[in-house]
Each structure stands twice: as structure tokens, then as C-alpha cells.
Amino acid sequence: MTAIKVGIIGAGSAAFSLRLVSDLCKTKGLSGSLVSLMDIDKDRLNAVHMLAKKFAEEFGADLRFETTTNVEDPIKDSSFVVNTALVGGHSYFEQVRNISEKHGYYRGIDSQEFNMVSDYYTISNFNQLKFMHDVAKAIERISPKAWLLQAANPVFELTNLITRTVPINMVGICHGHHGVDQIIEKLGLDTEKVEWQVAGVNHGIWLTKFMYEGKDAYPLIDELLEKEVKNFKPTNPFDDQISLVAKDMYEFYGKMPIGDTVRNGSWKYHYNLETKKKWFGEPWGGVDSELGWKWYQDRQAEIALAMQKVAKYFQENKNAKLLSKESFNEIISQTKNDVKEEFTKEIYNLLDPERKSGEQHILLANALLNNEKVDLVLNLPNNGTIPGIPDDVAVEIPVYADKDGIHRYKIDPALPERITKMYLYPRIMRMEWALEAFLTGDRKVLEEFLIRDPRTESYDQVVKVIDEILALPGNEEMRKHYSKK
Ligand code: NAD
């Protein structure tokens, strides 16, 4: 048993923190650990703290918690630091998007070929990149042996930035590969008998291997797509793993796109709302359309409110138990029905002792410290795993972890060359441009990004949109950074 300190930065991201706490409660080998919850928003922080304590109590888990608004506290003496903060919050993204759209950039300047996810900003996200880089440097200074588990986006750019410039232990972690579970579930297969691999870069991963009972099971996916896609009607904006767009990408690239990769196709699927609806289905046109993203934002706000209500209830009723679903539903009775259902399901899944949350952070910690070998999908430098990709580019690949560290599996069969040449290279190029801009502070690089954007019609348009984003309140440091000569 190894009692450690785990720091969570941006811990007010409630659903995420509770998942980690629930996994910790179920991991005997990390019993006695201290969880340091850090956020700049005290209300969110207190709500998460209240619920985290409640979870530990219900499990009878030996965990301690501390809360702090000082970013160095979750780093000091920690073995693992999970960073899930979002500097400027979602409202900053909306401001940038509104300015961009006024200047002719539908869904914002940061929506780029193979990077259409609406909160994955790389061009205008200086404050986020700077904060994450600073946290990595603080780890090097204060806790040089600690692992940084980078959960906040943009995971691809941040994993590259940090692994290349700060000599610490770090990996980028995303849960996007669970798209494979959706395929397995839709096919009604026994998970234990499925063997699969995904490979690519974060939010750009492809199902390279899919075997059932030792035989190639891709023909089952072909049949499923044929059947399901004819009258495709998504149940929610995220319902796209088996969709017209996934089928079209599969047919062009030769392998199934997995998880957020389906959201990250070329402009073919994203020109405008009408195009998005055609490919991602009515009524939303996928989660990254104006309608789908509003659906998501409204839902997140409802969930945050429900979380506050639950926390307040337990604050006022110290001896109350989370265990009864009826009393739980009573506490969040004002929450919209479908959100209430999903929220209750999530909480009760997290309370199920037989089930882990699906996040990989605690599994990785337990494998490294207690030698409980585990298969994971992580972001780390390629080092020859995907042929044709430079060693220092962070790829998202299947690995296993144990007391000796993280070990890469061979990708077999290999990724089709078309994916490498037509999807990964252009995506990697944009990551490199984003880092070139960030590391040099050269505004001309930001401009060049947009000069090469198919939505740009004049240089004047580029200058105006960048000027207006740099002039936003909160972007003072970014403005200064990009005025370097
Ligand atoms: P959110 O805004 O709901 O939560 C982020 C938290 O960060 C907030 O509580 C906020 O107060 C806090 N924060 C902001 N500035 C901070 C600072 N300087 N120091 C400490 N905390 C600070 O955002 P969210 O929707 O929960 O998303 C968080 C991040 O995680 C985003 O980048 C998102 O894209 C990413 N994400 C990653 C995955 C993954 O699998 N890797 C999945 C979902 C979301």
C-alpha cells in the first residue's frame, strides 16, 4: 500500500474531480492518500470538497482532503498532479468565437482543419498554454519527481510543449478512446473477447486493430454502419461514433475514426450549419455546431447547479447519506429531467464498488506505484512507435504501465499511410505552428496561421480579427507577448 499526495488543479471541474476521487476510493493500494483540491473559484471548490468527503465516507475509504487557491499547494510533495483547469473559462471561448464570426470565421479562428472541437483552442489560447507551461515549470522546481497528468485541453499541443521544454515526467490523458466501447456495445460483443488498438494523435485516433475471438471483426463494423446509418438520427449531439460522418471518414482513410476524431474531420463536414446537419444528423448537426454547443453549454450549467444543490444539502445535513436514489432525486428535483437522469446515473455509477470511472489517471498511478499492470491509451513522444512521425511528436497510443514505467505496444497492423499523410501530417503541422507562435511570441506566425485558412479572403481580415482578440480584457499578457519584435 502506498499513501501518496495527489494534486488536482482546476478541481472545481466537478464531475471530473469526483471521478478521480471515486477511483481513489476503490483503489486499496492508494489508501491513506491525501488529495489536494485546488481551484480559483471557492464556491466550486467547496462544493467538490463536500462531495468528495461524502464519497470517501460512503466507501469507508481512508482518504484525506485539503482545499487551496494557491497553485503551488497541490504540487508540493505530490506524486501526481492532474491539471484540468480552464483559464478564462468557457466564456472566453465564446468571446473569441463571436469576434471571429464577425470577421468571417465560422465557429471561430481556432476551429481548424482536423481540430473542430469547440473548446480545443490553440491560436487564441495564450493564457491557457502559459498557465499549463508554468505549472509544469513549477513541478520541475518544487516536486521534480512528480508526474504531471495533463487533462486540460489542448492536450496535443500541451503534451508537445511540455515534453519538449520541461524535463519532468508527464503524459497527456484523454478518454476519447472509449468510442471503441460504444462500438463494442452497439455490436453486442463480449468486451473480454475483443482485442483492439487505436493510434494517432490526441483527438485524431484510428481503430487500427479490431478482433473478436481472435478473428478480424472489422466486417461487423461494416455491417453495423450499413444498417445504422441509413436513417441515422442522433439521440444527442455527441452521438456520432456510428454516424454518416464516421462512415465517410472510414471509407476515405481506411480505418474507423474513434471518439473525438469523428468531430475532427476536414471542412467537408463543417462548412456551415447545413453541412454539419447533413453529416452529423438533425437537429443539432453535431456537438460543434452553434446548436450542438449551446445544448452542451446549457447542460453543463444545469449539472453545475445540481452539483451546488447536492453540496449545499450535505453541508446542511451532515449525517445524510448519498445512498438513497429517492432522496437524491428530491435534492435536485428542479433539475431538467434528462439532465437529472444522467447526473443521478453518473453519481450512482461512481458509487458502484465494481465499476471504475473510465478515467485513466488513478489506474496509471496505481500501476507505477504498486506494480498493478494496466493497459492504457496515453499521449507521449512517438519515439518510433508510428513510422514516419518524428520521435518528439506526442502521439496517442496503446501502452501498458507497471513499476518500471510506461511501455509502448507495437502498432500492429500499422496505421494506413493515407492517415499519416493526409490526416496526421496536417494536424501535426498546425500543432507545430501553434508552438512556434507561443514560443517565439511572433505575431506574424499567428497571422500566417490564418493566411493559410480557407475562410480568409484578405490580409486585412487577418489583421483585424487578431487585433480585436488581442484587445480583449484579460488578454493583456498575450498582447504583450505578441508585440515582441
Ligand atoms: P470548467 O470551466 O467547467 O472547469 C475548469 C475549472 O478550472 C473551473 O473550476 C475553474 O474555476 C478552474 N480554473 C480556471 N482558472 C484556473 C486557475 N488559474 N487555476 C486553477 N483553476 C482554474 O471546464 P471543463 O469543461 O471542466 O473543462 C476543463 C478542461 O478539461 C478543458 O480544457 C476541457 O477541454 C478539458 N477536458 C478534457 C477531457 C479529457 O479527457 N482530457 C475531457 C473533458 C474536458
Mean pLDDT of 335-348: 85
- Band of pLDDT at residue 485, cut at 50, 70 and 90: low
103 is in an annotated binding site: no
Across 340-404, where does the E strand assignment appear? 374-381, 394-402
Q: What is the pLDDT of residue 323?
A: 65
128 touches 86 (CB < 8 A): yes
| pTM for this model (two decimals) | 0.97
Write the CATH number of the domain with boundaries 5-87+125-174+358-368. Answer: 3.40.50.720
**pLDDT greater than 80 at residue 356:** yes
Helix-strand-coil split of the chain, %, nearest 5: 50, 15, 35
> Measured in Å, how far apart are the chain's first and last C-alpha atoms?
54
Q: What are the backbone angles phi and psi of residue 8, rounded to the nearest 5°? A: -120, 115
Closest residue by CA, ligand 1 atom 39: 174
Q: How far apart are alpha carbons 295 and 181 in whole angstroms?
A: 24
What digits encode the pLDDT tens for the residues 170-215?
999 999 999 999 999 999 999 999 999 999 999 999 999 999 999 9
For residues 230 and 406, which has the higher predicted lDDT (pLDDT)?
406
**pLDDT greater than 90 at residue 484:** no
For the chain, give every domain's residue range. Answer: 5-87+125-174+358-368, 90-116+433-478, 177-288, 292-351
Q: What is the pLDDT of residue 163?
A: 98
Closest atom of ligand 1 relative to the 154 alpha carbon: 32
* C-beta atoms surrounding 427 within 10 Å: 21
Rounded distance from Cα 307 to ligand 1 centre (Å): 16
Pocket of ligand 1 (CB under 6 A): 9-10, 12-13, 16, 38-41, 44, 71, 84-87, 89-90, 119, 131, 151-153, 155, 173-175
Q: How far apart are alpha carbons 288 and 292 in whole angstroms?
A: 6
174 is in an annotated binding site: yes
**Residue 235 CB partners (closer than 8 Å, separation 6+):** none
Poorest-confidence range of 283-297, 335-349, 393-407, 435-449?
335-349
Mean pLDDT of 75-94: 97
**pLDDT greater than 70 at residue 131:** yes
Which single residue is written with the C-alpha cell 467538490?
48
Closest atom of ligand 1 relative to the 175 alpha carbon: 40
Grouping H, G, I as helix, E, B as strand and the rest as coil, residue 87 is coil
Rounded distance from Cα 11 to ligand 1 centre (Å): 8
Closest atom of ligand 1 relative to the 89 alpha carbon: 2
178 is in an annotated binding site: no
Rounded distance from Cα 38 to ligand 1 centre (Å): 12
12 touches 41 (CB < 8 A): yes
List the one residue out of 68, 40, 43, 51 whose CA is nearest residue 16.
51
Pairing mode, strands 394-402 and 405-408? antiparallel
Rounded distance from Cα 60 to ligand 1 centre (Å): 29
Mean pLDDT of 95-102: 98
- Band of pLDDT at residue 333, cut at 50, 70 and 90: confident
Across 383-471, where does the E strand assignment appear? 394-402, 405-408
Average pLDDT over all residues of the chain = 95
Closest atom of ligand 1 relative to the 119 alpha carbon: 34
* C-beta atoms surrounding 327 within 10 Å: 13
**pLDDT greater than 90 at residue 329:** no
Which residues are annotated as catalytic?
A: 175, 260
Helix (H) or strand (E) holding 46: helix 42-59
Rounded distance from Cα 20 to ligand 1 centre (Å): 14
Q: What is the pLDDT of residue 388?
A: 95
Q: What is the pLDDT of residue 187?
A: 97
44 touches 12 (CB < 8 A): yes
Closest residue by CA, ligand 1 atom 30: 152
Closest residue by CA, ligand 1 atom 31: 152
Rounded distance from Cα 476 to ligand 1 centre (Å): 21
* C-beta atoms surrounding 130 within 10 Å: 15
Of 84, 94, 288, 296, best ligand 1 pocket probe by most atoms within 8 Å of the beta carbon = 84
